[in-house]
Amino acid sequence: MSSNIMKKVTRGLFFLLMISIGGVALAAYDLNFPPPVTDNAKIMDDQNMFSIWVCVVIAIVVYGAMIYSIIFHRKSKGAVPADFHESTALEIAWTVVPFLILIAFGVSATKGLLKIYDHSGSELEVRVIGSQFKWEYQYLGKDGKVAYSFISQIKQSHKDASAAGGTKYKEIKNYLLDVDKPLRIPVGIKVKYTITSNPGDVIHSWWVPRLGIKQDANPGYDNTASALIPKEYAGQSFRGKCAELCGVDHAYMPVVVKAVAKAEFDTWLKTASTKYIANRKALANAESWSDDKLMSEGKKLYEIHCFACHKKDGSGTPPTFPALKGSAMANGKAGAHIQIIIKGKASMPPFAQLNDAEIAAIATYERKSWGNTGSIIKPSEVTKARK
Amino acid sequence: MSEAVAHDAHHHDHPTGIKRWLFTTNHKDIGTLYLWFAFIMFMVGGTFAMGIRAELFQPGMQIMKPQFFNMLTTLHGLIMVFGAIMPAFVGLANWLIPMMVGAPDMALPRMNNWSFWILPFAAILLVAPMFMGGDFSAGTGPNFGWTFYAPLSTKYPYLGYFVFAVHLLGISSIMGSINIIATILNMRAPGMTLMKMPLFVWTWLITAYLLLAVMPVLAGAVTMLLTDGYFGTTFFQAPGGGDARLFQHVFWFFGHPEVYIMILPAFGIVSQIIPTFARKKLFGYSSMVYATASIAFLSFIVWAHHMFTVGMPMAGILFFTYATLLIAVPTGVKVFNWVATMWRGAMTFETPMLFSIGFVVMFTFGGFTGLMLSISTADFQYHDSYFVVAHFHYVLVPGSLFSIFAAVYYWLPKWTGNMYSETLGKWHFWLSTIAVNLTFFPQHFVGLASMQRRVGDYPPQYAEFNMMSSIGAFMFGLTQLLFLYIVIKTIKGGKKATDEVWENAEGLEWTIPSPAPYHTFETPPQIK
């Protein structure tokens, strides 16, 4: 009797579970890949659907046989066990048939992969450089040199809302998926992405689902991917994130790719590039900068490279990333301070990729802000320290 | 029998109390120790999981800091793999293999004691850094993911503790597997040829070889981490000419066989249980043995399917795609054999059978998603998403863990001499099954919709499914307290079990009294 009641209860619960899953499915939540934009994303999407349907068919056969025997071959229904326990023919059949299905999978995977790995005909190359916890994007010119470079990171308001908890996240649009500066990509041409991470940094992974790109950014080694965004997507943004655990702020490394018309992109890049190259040239004269100039440049750079961990007010996120405000380093010897920036320390990655003027400006800013009383650092001191 | 016991007491010191457990060389005592250790670790790892699911109950960092969350995911994974699932299987091997092959004990009893008693120290070393650094909420325990990819892990300030914990775990596993191999190869009762061994023994024999092959690789990987971290080598550091990808190749060369280390004994368990309750011989015994061996072989040549997005030449990706697809063949053979065993049997559905059927259904489901993951073109999207989390939890929780539950219910009457409560056992099964699906099924959806793994905060588009997942996880966690209650109740008393326990169950363990005496098969039985 009691086992009968239990059966009813469990069946009821199971039914409820099925209804709830079905109900959710109907409610149009995101259940599957976001709509593909590029050919590569389409290949991935098609493969996903093909795999799902093959699995559904196999599942119906296997689960069907199980359910049938559970219902009809039970002792309580007076079933008498048969005594067969082997059949070479059957064993061969259920080895060969799955093998044939797998060949179909292998063929479709190979076809898809050949296309995904084909980066020929790319008209623009963008270098994607991961670091804790931001993305640097470099547009390469026809001469292979960097035409424009910038750093893209999560909007601070998102991180603040995340740390605050509660329902703050509800007030923010595209929560955790918005950056200060999006990556602009022209539509209608194939773009090659070279994805890497600064040599002393950790592994990141650049993932933009709708473009069909997920490639690890390995410290010091390049990976490549390519994508062609069709013209009709001009004006749209495609969001992504870092997919490989990279430390404390792994959840806060979104990617935003903004598709723009080719002509608009060309004009924008030209202007941005001119300004960028002029700025790089100005850095060559940094040795003669006034202290104020060093400080103001330092503040700008600090708020790109350092503030994510050490905070705008220099309070840091101890114990992983110590406070700079009142720290022995920022108030002590210049040489030791420079070395930590160049080489990193414990959880902090090295910043050797910055040039001497940038490091000097950042160090100066750190040594002269928040009540710190360290000395001014000139670019030549950094040059010396690198040797 | 009483003569045998008296004879034994004459020869051996038989301490009681704590000394019995510290110095024991008895395979049943050591099996019990392993099983309790695994259960305690299961509770600890489960507590970490509850912390993870509590944080993910809604978006926003609600109850902890991001680094604490990273620590929870890392320790949850490490403890469940190395502290719960693996020791539980070794515990079952200790209890069952000598009884199944008609041996009086394990081949190397003192080493057996040592391989167990290393474990608690390894566990302490693993979690100790949680309490260092002064600020508990900062998450100073291992916080680089259970796969401890370099160079994130080499930047970890308490790396040494982690490395030595893994070394100890490895030493324990290697000694345990040597012992199991020696027992199976040397101590079988006369007449028990290899192809007459119960499948649980077969699967463990193969698992032990896998352990022997890959644990030294893991030891190599962590030693390289150690020297990178403390002695200035640059195996995985690009500035010194190293490559972070090398770590992943070495790690997964260990890691993929490790996956089968956690599932092959489960195959063995359900292959023992399903025939008993279907009242029909296991279908295709020899094909089951060959399929197990094939899976073990394939496990060595598929490691880089964990690394499709890491950066490999196309030829590499294709090779690992094809090799991985092949695994579906022997795995399919196993599933078909189980179904064929049930087919036209006379089934009853006691708790061990329920967990075994649950295993076949849900492990197969995990197999389907595994098949999907093996196809590199689609894996570019699945990789490192919650789809992967859903996949491996389906094979590990209703897979490995359910098989361990099934084994405990199946052999508990033999171990304790008492029957467990069938009603409570069934409640345990149904609640666990509902909870596990509520927890992990929605994770497929958030993964496909591109939620990445190992994040403590996420965009609100994933909120509903995460909430369902959390509710399921809490339900699953609480349900396991019922399991503890059932086991303790059975140890304390209950309906006396017969020697055979189950109707016409096959195997030597059912020929000895219930509870199994402290020493069994001192005179080897004859196998016809």
| Phi, psi for residue B279 in degrees, rounded to 5 | 55, 45
A60: contact with B, CB 8 A cutoff: no
Q: What pTM did the predictor assign?
A: 0.91
* pLDDT above 90 coverage of chain A, percent: 68
Predicted local distance difference test score (pLDDT) of residue B145: 96
Amino acid at A355: N
Please tell me the distance in Å from B7's CA to the nearest CA on chain A: 42
Q: Which of B243, B342, B445 is closest, CB to CB, to A66? A: B342
A65 to B430: CB separation less than 8 angstroms, yes or no: no
* Contact (CB, 8 A) for A168 and B60: yes
Structural tokens at position B45: 């790892």
For residues B261 and B210, give the distance between their C-alpha atoms in angstroms, rounded to a whole number: 7
Cβ neighbours for A143, distance < 8 A, ≥ 6 positions apart: none
CA distance B523 to chain A (A): 32
> CB of A14 within 8 Å of any CB in chain B?
yes
**pLDDT score recorded for residue B17:** 86
On whether any CB of chain A is under 8 Å from the CB of B506, the answer is no
Using alpha carbons, list the distances in angstroms from residue B131 to B71, B81, B128, B134, B141: 12, 22, 6, 7, 7
| A134-140/A124-131 β-pairing | antiparallel
Within 10 A of B152 (CB to CB), how many other CB atoms are there? 26
Q: What DSSP element (H or E) covers A46? A: helix A39-72
Instruction: Give the per-residue pLDDT at A52.
Output: 94
**Continuous H helices in B102-198:** 109-127, 159-186
- Per-residue pLDDT in tens (0 to 9) along chain B, 528 residues: 344 444 444 455 677 889 999 999 999 999 999 999 999 999 999 999 999 999 999 999 999 999 999 999 999 999 999 999 999 999 999 999 999 999 999 999 999 999 999 999 999 999 999 999 888 999 999 999 999 999 999 999 999 999 999 999 999 999 999 999 999 999 999 999 999 999 999 999 999 999 999 999 999 999 999 999 999 999 999 989 999 999 999 999 999 999 999 999 999 999 999 999 999 999 999 999 999 999 999 999 999 999 999 999 999 999 999 999 999 999 999 999 999 999 999 999 999 999 999 999 999 999 999 999 999 999 999 999 999 999 999 999 999 999 999 999 999 999 999 999 999 999 999 999 999 999 999 999 999 999 999 999 999 999 999 999 999 999 999 999 999 999 999 999 999 999 999 998 999 999 999 999 999 999 999 987
- pLDDT, residue A16, reads 56
Distance from CA of A94 to the nearest CA of B (A): 6
Secondary-structure breakdown of chain B: helix, strand, coil percentages, each rounded to the nearest 5: 75, 0, 25
**What is the per-residue pLDDT for A344?**
85
Nearest CA in chain B to A169: B60
Residues from chain A contacting residue B357 (CB–CB below 8 Å):
66, 70
Q: What is the pLDDT of residue A22?
A: 53
A379 Cβ contact partners less than 8 Å away, ≥ 6 residues apart: A286, A287, A356, A357, A359, A360
- Which among B133, B310, B368 is the nearest to A59, CB-wise? B368
Q: How many CB atoms lie within 10 A of CB B490?
A: 24
Can you give the pLDDT at residue A1?
41
User: Which residue among the candidates B27, B28, B32, B105 is catalytic per the annotation?
Assistant: B105
Residues A193, A126: Cα–Cα separation, whole Å: 5
Contact B95, B28 (CB under 8 A): yes
Interface check A172 vs B, CB under 8 A: no
Please identify among residues 424-443 of chain B the ones whose CB lies closer than 8 Å to any CB of chain A.
Answer: 426-427, 430, 434, 437-438, 441-442
- The CA distance from A282 to the nearest CA of chain B, in Å, is 29
**B318 vs A109: CB contact, 8 Å cut-off?**
yes
Closest of B337, B329, B323 to residue B367, by C-alpha = B329
Which among B213, B217, B216, B212 has a CA at the least distance from the CA of B180? Answer: B212
Across the interface, do A245 and B152 touch by the CB < 8 Å criterion?
yes
Q: How far away is chain B from the Cα of A48, in angstroms, using its nearest Cα? A: 6
Nearest to A33 among B70, B243, B381 (CB): B381
Q: Is B305 a catalytic residue?
A: yes
Nearest-by-Cβ selection for A73 from B282, B347, B376: B347
Average pLDDT, chain A: 90
Q: Is B110 a catalytic residue?
A: no
A residues 309-328 closer than 8 Å to B (CB): 318-320
- The answer to whether the Cα torsion of B36, B37, B42, B47 is positive or negative is positive
* Cα–chain center distance at B332: 21
Q: What is the pLDDT of residue A308?
A: 79
The answer, for B155 touching chain A at a CB cutoff of 8 Å, is yes
Distance from the Cα of residue B156 to its chain's centroid: 27
pLDDT at A6: 56
The dihedral over CA atoms of B218, B221, B224, B229, expressed in degrees to the nearest 10, equals -100
B432 is catalytic: no
Residue with tokens 């719960």: B84
Give the per-residue pLDDT at A109.
95
List the structure tokens of B257. Answer: 């066989």
The single residue listed with the structure tokens 């590499």 is B316
Mean pLDDT calculated for residue range A147-155 = 95
B321, HSE (Cβ side, Cα atoms, 13 Å): 28
In this complex, do B339 and A65 lie within 8 Å of one another by their Cβ atoms? Answer: yes
Which residue of chain A comes nearest to B159, CA vs CA? A346
* pLDDT (0 to 100) of residue A149: 95
Q: A331 or A348, which is more confident?
A: A331
pLDDT band at A309 (very low <50, low <70, confident <90, very high): confident
pLDDT band at A316 (very low <50, low <70, confident <90, very high): confident
Residue B126's nearest CA partner among B67, B76, B53 is: B76
Higher-confidence residue of A12 and B127: namely B127
Residues in A touching B452 (Cβ below 8 Å): 207, 241-243
- What's the CA gap between A245 and B291, in Å, rounded? 35
From the list B153, B172, B376, B520, the catalytic residue is B172
Contact status of B371 with chain A (Cβ, < 8 Å): yes
For residues A74-95, average pLDDT: 91
Q: Do A250 and B133 touch (CB under 8 A)?
A: no
Distance CA A197, CA A217 (A): 5
Chain A contact for B292 (CB, 8 A cutoff) = no
CA distances in angstroms from B409 to A2, B83, B247, B403, B405, listed in the order given:
21, 21, 40, 10, 6
Residues of chain A positioned with their CB less than 8 A from the CB of B455: 250-251
Cross-chain CB nearest to B346 (options A81, A91, A102): A81
Q: Nearest-CA neighbor of B391 among B499, B321, B463, B305?
A: B305
| pLDDT at residue A10 is higher than 90 | no
**Contact check, Cβ <8 Å, A320/B67:** yes
Answer whether B271's CB lies under 8 Å from B248's CB.
no
| Confidence category of residue A108, pLDDT binned at 50, 70, 90 | very high
pLDDT-based confidence at A349, cuts 50/70/90?
confident
Chain B, window 375-414: residues with a beta carbon less than 8 angstroms from a chain A beta carbon: 375-378, 380-381, 383-385
Burial state string for A88-122 with b = 16 or more CB within 10 A and e = fewer than 16: eebbeebbeebeebbeebbebbbebbeebeebeeb
Q: Tell me if A43 and B452 make a contact (CB, 8 A cut-off).
A: no
Instruction: Copy the structure tokens of residue A150.
Output: 């910038």
One of B115, B154, B173, B520 is an active-site residue; which one? Answer: B173
Chain B residue with minimum CA distance to A104: B325
The dihedral of CA B346, B349, B351, B357: what is its sign?
Answer: positive
- Nearest Cβ partner for B279 among A17, A81, A164: A81
- Distance between CA B333 and CA B248 in Å, rounded? 31
Provide the pLDDT for residue A303.
86
